[in-house]
Amino acid sequence: MSLSLEAGPVARQAAEAATAAAAKAGVLVVDEHDRDQLRDVEGLLIAIWGMSPHGAPIPFDLLRSISHAGCNVSAAYDPGGQLCGAAVGIVSPGGAATYSLIAGVLPGTGDKGVGFALKQHQRAWSLARGIESMTWTFDPLVSRNARFNLTKLGAVASEYAQNFYGEMQDEINANDESDRLVAVWPLSSARSIDASHGRIQDLELSAAAVGNVLEYGPDQQPVLLEAEGTIWCRAPRDIVAMRATAPDQASQWRSVLRGILEPALASGYMASGVTRSGWYRLTTTDQA
């Protein structure tokens, strides 16, 4: 679904879309280099993820080095100048892709479009440098993030990485294993351009899919469906809360989704979208 345009027009479109997304969210998004502001970025990341035995999610000295190396630390500020979101990216060897290390917004601002504005800023930053792809990993059990990545941004995932970081001990992951989906965002594709303007395909399950249950989940509700060559796989509504209140059940969900997604992606399917209710759409390349 690539849109064949010269880098100049695509980069300009991305810059305009990023500016529009920031205006809609009511924030200013910048490439942050200031030493003191980078300390604030460290503090924001701690406020989102908490501290682990290893320290901050990304410590100040590393943020300073990433910025100094010419890579990307994006920071979003509200009209009062308060830092309310940040995203950090490095560039893979040869400049083939941007690798997004982390992105998050101040607790309580998740529905205001700040995260979307940050990702559009990263997209514009990358395309301005001739980089047309961005990659990152995300927890397949966090359905809200999955929908943001695969539906709202237009990324896809065709790789399942089992226990990517090992056992994680921050406040969000709560000592769970760190299975991840690998998101690939083709920054100049027609789908990504449409998404940057808010023109997304809001997925819904068909009646045919609902009637063809292949597997049930830990909650005894359908977790795997199939209809007309499309597979649908459901993530739980709020895995973060479940890890805090019912860690054994959260672990069961990890095992179930691993058993579905890992072999499906290995056999040629890709996750190309997520419904509002947390159903992944798994399609083959010719269906996407």
pLDDT tens-digit series, residues 143-179: 999 999 999 999 999 999 999 998 766 555 556 789 9
The CB density around residue 100, as the number of other CB atoms within 10 Å, is 23
Task: Give the model's pLDDT for residue 207.
Answer: 72
7-196 belongs to which CATH class?
alpha beta
Q: For the chain, first and last CA: distance in Å?
A: 8
**Every domain of the chain and the residues it spans:** 7-196, 207-287
Does the pLDDT value for residue 205 go beyond 90? no
**Tokens 């690998």 appear where?**
182
Residue among 143, 139, 123 nearest 186 (CA): 123
* Tens digits of residue pLDDT in 108-131: 886 899 999 999 999 999 999 999
Mean pLDDT of 180-195: 97
Q: What is the C-alpha radius of gyration for the chain, rounded to an integer number of angstroms? A: 19
Averaged confidence pLDDT in the chain? 91
Tell whether the model's pLDDT for residue 7 goes beyond 80: no
Q: Which long-range contacts (CB under 8 A, 24 or more apart) does 208-215 make?
A: 215/256, 215/260
Express each pLDDT in 70-90 by its tens digit.
999 999 999 999 999 999 999
Q: What is the pLDDT of residue 10?
A: 95
Listed ranges 114-128, 163-177, 195-209, 226-240; the one with the highest mean pLDDT: 114-128
pLDDT for position 287: 62
Which pLDDT score is estimated for 170? 57
pTM: 0.92
